Amino acid sequence: MKIASFNVNGIKARLHQLTAWLPEAQPDVVVLQEIKTVDEGFPSGIIEDLGWRVWTHGQKSWNGVAVLSRLPVEEVRRGLPGDDTDEQARWIEAVVMGDTHAVTVAGLYLPNGNPAPGPKYDYKLAWMERLRQRSAELLETEAPVVMLGDYNIIPEPRDAARPDAWVEDALFLPESRAAFRRIVNQGWTDAIRVTDPHATRGPFTFWDYQRQSWERDHGIRIDHLLLSPQAADLMRGAGIDRDQRAGEKPSDHVPVWVDLAA
C-alpha cells in the first residue's frame, strides 16, 4: 500500500499537476493539503474518472484537506478533536482496507503560525497540543497508522538549506520543534528520516516561489510521514518526488510517500 501526501497549494491551480502525477507515481492512497475550496468546488468528477474515490474537508479560499483512495475505505473522520469552535479545515482520517491490513491514514495541514509571537502562533501551538492528544489515542489502537501531511515544522537544522534564515520563523522556533518532538517521542517513526538517518543536509520537500529558492536548492523539509510502530514494521520504502517541483506551474511542495506491506 503506497500512501502519499501532497500539498497542492490550490487544487484548481494544480489540477494539471495532480492528474499527471497520479498515474505516474501510482499511489494507492493520497492525502492532499491546501485544496483551498469548499467541498462542492473540489473537482471530484475528474479525479473519480481516473479511478479514485474522493473525500474532502474543505474551506472557502483557505486550508482544506482531502483523501483520495483506490482501495476500500471503511470510515472517514473530519476535523481534529479537542476544540469544537475550530472552523479551520486541517484534519481528515480514513481507515483504508489493504490486502492484509487495515491502515488508519490521518492527513493534516498544521498551522503555519507566523507572525510569531502572536495569536496565529498561539493557535499553532494549541493545535499541536490537540494533535499530540489525538496521536496518543491513535497509538493506543495498536493498529498501523500513518499520520502524514504538511506539518509546517522544520525539525532540525539539517532540514533547511539555510537554517540561519529561519531562526525567527514559527516553523523553526524552539517551542515549535519541541512540540513536534513531544509527538514523535510518543513512539512515531519519521519515515523519510529513517531512510537516510545520517544525512547532513536535506532532503527537502518545499521550495519558496521567491528568491530563486528552487534554482538555488534553498529548500526545507516540512512535509512528514509519521508511522506508528505497527506501520513501521510494515514499511518497505519511503521517498520524495522531488522532480515535481520542476514542472510547469508547480506547487511549492512536492509529494512524499511511504510504501507498506499491507
Of 69, 55, 12, 18, the C-alpha closest to 37 is: 12
* Contact indicator for 202, 221 with CB cutoff of 8 Å: yes
Phi, psi of 233 (to 5 degrees): -65, -25
Catalytic pick among 57, 121, 159, 253: 253
DSSP per residue, 22-87: HHHH--SEEEEE---S-GGGS-HHHHHTTT-EEEEE--SSS--EEEEESS-EEEEEES-TT-TT--
Of 155, 159, 141, the C-alpha closest to 184 is: 155
Residue 112 marked in a binding site: no
Note if 217 is an active site residue. Answer: no
* Contact indicator for 60, 91 with CB cutoff of 8 Å: no
* Contact indicator for 171, 153 with CB cutoff of 8 Å: yes
Residue 252 marked in a binding site: yes
DSSP per residue, 131-152: HHHHHHHHHHTTS-EEEEEE--
Catalytic pick among 28, 57, 109, 169: 109
Residue 150 marked in a binding site: yes
Catalytic pick among 28, 150, 159, 223: 150
Residue with cell 476544540: 83
Identify the H or E element spanning 11: helix 11-25
Length of the chain in terms of residues written: 262
Strand order of the β-sheet with 256-260 is 53-57, 65-69, 29-33, 2-7, 256-260, 235-240
Note if 253 is an active site residue. Answer: yes
Cα gap 73→34, rounded to integer Å: 22
Note if 150 is an active site residue. Answer: yes
- Provide the annotated binding site: 7, 34, 150, 152, 252-253
- Provide the annotated binding site for Mg(2+): 7, 34, 150, 152, 252-253
List the catalytic residues: 109, 150, 253
